[in-house]
Amino acid sequence: MKFGPGPRGYLGTIGQYALGSGASFGFFMMIGSCIRTDDSVLSAEDRATLRAGMERWRVPVSPMAYYFAQNAKAQPK
């Protein structure tokens, strides 16, 4: 503290520094926790929840769109 505590005083300056450091630590800890708990193996309950969510937002496809998609795959370019 070369130039003194500033307008907030010693306690306010140290408190601001501690709060900023704690917020940064919490942010990076959150990212690390998300990375560590992200596994590719889903439980049966997770699969059922995912399937239900996908069914909820599924867009109905017309039979003609399905027909054209199948024929496009069968024809060589």
pLDDT by residue (tens digit) across 1-43?
567 777 878 888 888 889 999 999 999 998 888 777 766 677 8
Asked if residues 8 and 16 have their Cβ atoms less than 8 Å apart, the reply is yes
CA distance 77 to 65: 20
The pTM score is: 0.41
